[in-house]
Structure 1
């Protein structure tokens, strides 16, 4: 899920510095604009964005609302989120955990306007010896520390009556994890696709836990700067229109649907077969009504509390006295943490407009 070539611990320190800085400063009010930049990185559930640009769908919806939207690829996932946090992008594709621990914990008021999918097997825990997760006790585990892989491992251990104290994690960049796990000395690993698929195919390797066992906890989002979207609601309408038109197209079982998915696969550097396999473990909220229902369900607050508490326990809220220091807002004026310090908001406005046919 996380496409990081940097050490995530560095990001935690950056987030902490920004968090402290945010206590003494505030963002300048946004103004109406006509041109916007949206960052994205390669992941199965995010490939509709570059395809939509290639196919003219981005321009179609931007023209409808009299604006211009630039959909910009960043090769490194965490760098894309850092650039968004620094103000280079108006929005970015990001997981719920990273939206919380990087921009939100850094004091950047951020709104999740599209809940696109959740990992339904795209992230997994692998063992070279042992048929169940219980066999991981005492082993070294290669993973990107302080990422969703670390969170998945913690949740998996919890289901097996263990904790992170029962294993030794080895911080391994996503670019290096396939090679690292190929070493005879490697015992266990946590990874996301496409690396997960490659590692799972090694001799003697068994997947003993995956994200389908914690549905809805690892979310993939499109987030935007809150002040920007308030000042420019047409941006949200256009983005929702782009998203739902594109994913409806890729779901089609005819030649047009196959052509769209093949184009997305090419943009991701994968074969159509490999991309379709990744999509099979990605639960896309194709219907905007389903996305709204998931975002308004009590389960979202429960899951975000788990993510928040894990993040705080790992020191990702540097400078915060408690996990409540970074507030998370939900539909219906509900909040987790300090309601006066909400910097991550789940906003159903534009998904609801799509569901109502009002875009």
Structure 2
């Protein structure tokens, strides 16, 4: 009994371990500041870990089954999960694609209209399905006018090189590598401004357990973006291995991506995210028309988590 009593103060003084916040991502320039923060040692002791998946489809699967607490996804992917009853909250704007997502076609295919009768590869369960629906809509084509084969992200480049597809719906850094192989852009996200938006989402059930981690993560994100501006050469060197590009090509990948800095995040979540809710609602309506969603989603609910924590404005 005495030993037990003596142990009480020691137990009481032992800090509780921080709850783990596992974040799933795939390869995409807009997510790289998270890995830059890790490379700089900023995640140590935060309880935040990054889980790398070969595609966003795998990130979505992990969120469905509770394998991770958070994920970096496009807004259309978030809507897809929400319609299936996965209760998520958007907590950070990561980026807006402005040309970095594209449909790359073989030589001889000069326009999106030329895709009629062609074979197109796409990750149809994720952003690829949305991009495909938008290019067909813009070209005045229907799904039955093309042949669609499902391709995971890590299959895009090989399928194109091996002539298994006439075009592929892809994004950086694969986009740049396919252009070097002679590919041609027939459609990209700059033609649908503001529609391809990447966000960080967390499962609503664990939101209350991680306010400190989410504040920390937001500040690390902004710090990493600042680091790219202050130390571009070192940032590029740290990011080149994951992007599989020479260091002098890394920063080019961000030319078609508008990053979600502090100002952009303030605007994104301003006034209860009224503009963002409107844009997400319009996207949901497009997805419903294209039969990418089976039912409506409570978009306001997706934006209800940001008020649960506040960015402190400090820099680590």
Q: How would you bin the TM-score normalised by the shorter chain?
A: 0.7 to 0.9
Counterparts of residues 153-232 of structure 1 (less than 5 Å):
153-184=132-163, 186-203=165-182, 205-232=183-210
Please name the residue that 1:138 is paired with.
117
Contact 1:237–1:350, Cα closer than 8 Å, also in 2: no
1:323 aligns with 2:295: yes
For residue 159 of structure 2, give the secondary structure of its aligned residue in structure 1: helix
Please name the residue that 1:333 is paired with.
none
Gaps of 5+ in 2: 1-15
1:184-213: per-residue Cα shift (whole Å, max 9, x none)? 56322222122222222233x321110111
Give the direction of change, closer, same or farther, for the CA distance of 1:353–1:242 in structure 2 (3 Å limit): same
For residue 216 of structure 1, give the secondary structure of its aligned residue in structure 2: coil
1:108-151: per-residue Cα shift (whole Å, max 9, x none)? 32111111101111211223323222222232222222331221
Superposition TM-score, scaled by structure 1 size: 0.72
Please name the residue that 1:280 is paired with.
255
Please name the residue that 1:293 is paired with.
267
Give the direction of change, closer, same or farther, for the CA distance of 1:245–1:141 in structure 2 (3 Å limit): same
Please name the residue that 1:126 is paired with.
104
Contact 1:291–1:351, Cα closer than 8 Å, also in 2: no
Q: Distance in 2 between the 1:222 and 1:47 partners? A: 13
Q: Distance in 1 between the 2:288 and 2:17 partners? A: 36
Larger Rg over CA atoms: 2
1:49-83: per-residue Cα shift (whole Å, max 9, x none)? 122123122237x3xxxxx3233333444323322
Across the aligned residues of Structure 1 and Structure 2, the Cα RMSD in angstroms comes to 2.9
For residue 59 of structure 1, give the secondary structure of its aligned residue in structure 2: coil
1:282-334: per-residue Cα shift (whole Å, max 9, x none)? 11022x122221344655334423442454466665xxxx522x3111xxxxx
Contact 2:28–2:171, Cα closer than 8 Å, also in 1: no
For residue 70 of structure 1, give the secondary structure of its aligned residue in structure 2: strand
Aligned residue among 10, 30, 35 for 1:45: 30
Superposition TM-score, scaled by structure 2 size: 0.81
Give the Å deviation of 1:154: 1.9
Q: Distance in 2 between the 1:164 and 1:302 partners? A: 27
Gaps of 5+ in 1: 1-31, 63-67, 330-341
Give the Å deviation of 1:249: 1.0
Please name the residue that 2:44 is paired with.
59
Give the direction of change, closer, same or farther, for the CA distance of 1:44–1:185 in structure 2 (3 Å limit): closer
Give the direction of change, closer, same or farther, for the CA distance of 1:162–1:47 in structure 2 (3 Å limit): same
Please name the residue that 2:11 is paired with.
none
1:258 aligns with 2:233: yes
